[in-house]
Amino acid sequence: MRPCNAILLICLSCSIGCKQTYQPPAIANPPDYLVVEGFINTNPGESTTFNLSHTIKVDTNLYTPEPGATVTVEGSDNNQYRLPEAGTGSYTAPLSGLDYNITYRLHIITAKGKQYASDYFPLRTSPPIDSISWRRLENDIHQGIQVYASTHDPQNKTHYYRWDYQETWEFHSHFFATAQYVPVGHVQNYSPNTISVCWKSDQASNILLGTTKQLSQDVIHEAPLALIPLNSQQISVRYSILVKQYALTDSAFNWWQIMQKNTEQLGSIFGVQPSANMGNIHCLTDPSETVLGFVGGGNVQSQRIFITIDQVRPWVYNPDCTDNTIPNNPDSIKLWYDRGYLPWYVDISPPQVHVAYATCVDCTLTGSNIKPSFW
């Protein structure tokens, strides 16, 4: 064996035997940045809410709020509007009647005395939403119901738009229960059934932006919003989407666009590389400290539509629910209950109990049986 080959083998052996995971300092000990989320809403009867929290490790879902802060909206006319804390790290109050002829900023004093403030910014007026429409898609890329927003500004002044939405849908338990588990190992009649009809809600997970800056007219036609997967639970009975529309300044649009690229277009060596995106909020106590977020304000336009299963047929929602029959005795019933199954029907002859996985019987395990006020 040649000497260089022997050295190579020894080096390989050492590298394999002593291999350790390396975590860069930014991952092992990530910096603690204040995160500011919210929008100054000038709509009458609606509230302005800001949530204050801190950055977390990528591999955790632990939300770290910033409680006990003093949060104020300040006008360039020296008027101040306090946002009391309504929940841990959440600060809210109605702020209708603000003056669109002056500028505003957000001012924060934490419980530890650190001060933060946004740049002063103008309030923006959003034109109404013309329509929320939908269309069925069945192609190689998308299959399901695509929801769109259309709007226009006849004064040709808006140019920059952002949307978000909340989805709410009614769904039913796959099995309608007439029997109920009674500890330990028995069943009894169950009526009225209050666990077969439920509702569930979800927020938009993507950043949705549109611009007409390069167009001759300030018109947005069918900007794509939510895509409801084909045959999904969302339209198994009835579905609703509430869309909110915001007008942005050019600097706010640029910030949201960078955020969109950083969160949605990464993942490959050819993807968009992450960019610094500091926003318009600064630490007054320590100007070198990084703060995450962008504060803006104005009116909010909204529109809600409903879609029923009859409008989208064929639409076949098939949850993974199997009916199992077991002997009607305490030992069998308890055994299956401990495995996550619930009884839903009892046969008299032969004496046996029908059981199914709990979420197939009790819809309140994944939703709420309280009907929304707008339903």
pLDDT at 1: 47
pTM (predicted TM-score)? 0.86
**DSSP helix, strand, coil percent of the chain (3-state; round to 5):** 15, 40, 45
Q: Which residue has the tokens 């077969």?
A: 196
**pLDDT band of 5, cuts 50, 70, 90:** very low
Beta bridge partners of 37: 51
Window from 13-22, 224-233, 261-270, 290-299 with minimum mean pLDDT: 13-22
Higher-pLDDT residue of 35, 29: 35
Higher local confidence (pLDDT), 15 or 111: 111
- Average pLDDT of the residues in 216-245: 97
Q: DSSP alpha helices (H): ranges in the chain? A: 3-17, 25-28, 250-264, 309-312, 330-338, 358-361
pLDDT reading at 80 higher than 50: yes
Q: What is the pLDDT of residue 308?
A: 98
- How far is Cα 333 from Cα 181, in angstroms, rounded to an integer? 8
Residue 264: pLDDT over 70: yes
> Taking the domains of the chain in order of start, what are their residue ranges?
29-123+250-295, 129-248+300-365
Instruction: State residue 60's pLDDT score.
Output: 67
Tell me if 213 sits within 8 A of 159, measured CB to CB: yes
Q: For 265-313, how does the pLDDT look when each residue is reduced to its tens digit (9 = 90+)?
A: 654 433 444 556 679 999 999 999 999 999 999 999 999 999 999 999 9
Q: 191-210 as b/e, with b when 16 or more CB fall inside 10 Å?
A: eebebbbbbeeeebeebbbb
Q: Are 132 and 303 in contact (CB under 8 A)?
A: yes
* Residue 77: pLDDT over 80: yes
Pairwise CA distance, residues 225 & 163, whole Å:
8
Greater model confidence, 203 or 29: 203
Please work out, in degrees rounded to the nearest 5, the angle formed at the alpha carbon of residue 251 by the alpha carbons of 241 and 125. 50
Residue 286 · residue 30 · CB < 8 Å: no
Which letter does DSSP use for residue 127 in this model?
P
Work out the average pLDDT over 223-240: 97
- C-alpha pair distances (Å), 330 with each of 194, 327, 338, 362: 25, 9, 12, 21
Helix (H, G, I), strand (E, B) or coil at 258: helix
Distance spanning both ends of the chain, measured CA to CA? 81
Q: In the numeric block, which tokens belong to residue 38?
A: 């919210």
Mean pLDDT of the chain: 90
**Residue entry with tokens 């009907």:** 371
Q: Provide the pLDDT for residue 97.
A: 87
Residue 18 predicted with pLDDT over 90? no
Average pLDDT over residues 343-357: 96
Q: Helix, strand, or coil here: 28?
A: helix
Cα distances (Å, whole numbers) of residue 70 to 26, 39, 111, 205, 359: 30, 17, 8, 29, 43
pLDDT at 46 over 90: yes
pLDDT band per the 50, 70, 90 thresholds, residue 3: very low
- How many CA atoms, within 13 angstroms, populate the side-chain half-sphere of residue 279? 23
- Token pair of 278 as six digits: 């500091």
Start-end of H helices in 185-284: 250-264
- Could you report the per-residue pLDDT of 93-133, keeping only the tens digit for each? 999 889 999 999 999 999 999 999 999 999 999 999 999 99
pLDDT over 70 for what percent of the chain? 87
Q: Calculate mean pLDDT across residues 368-374.
A: 98
pLDDT above 70 for 4: no
Beta strands in 58-194 (DSSP E): 64-65, 70-75, 80-83, 85-87, 90-94, 103-109, 115-118, 121-122, 129-138, 143-152, 160-172, 179-182, 186-189
CB 333 within 8 A of CB 343: yes
What is the distance between the alpha carbons of residues 129 and 220, in angstroms, rounded to a whole number? 10
Token code pair at residue 304: 């809600």
* pLDDT of residue 214 exceeding 90: yes
Closest by CA to 52, choosing from 108, 119, 112, is: 108
pLDDT at residue 6, as a whole number = 40
Nearest Cα neighbor of 52 from 297, 307, 283 is: 283
Strands 291-292 and 34-41, sheet pairing:
parallel
Output the pLDDT for position 17: 45
pLDDT tens digits, residue range 128-186?
999 999 999 988 788 999 999 999 999 999 999 999 999 999 999 999 999 999 998 99
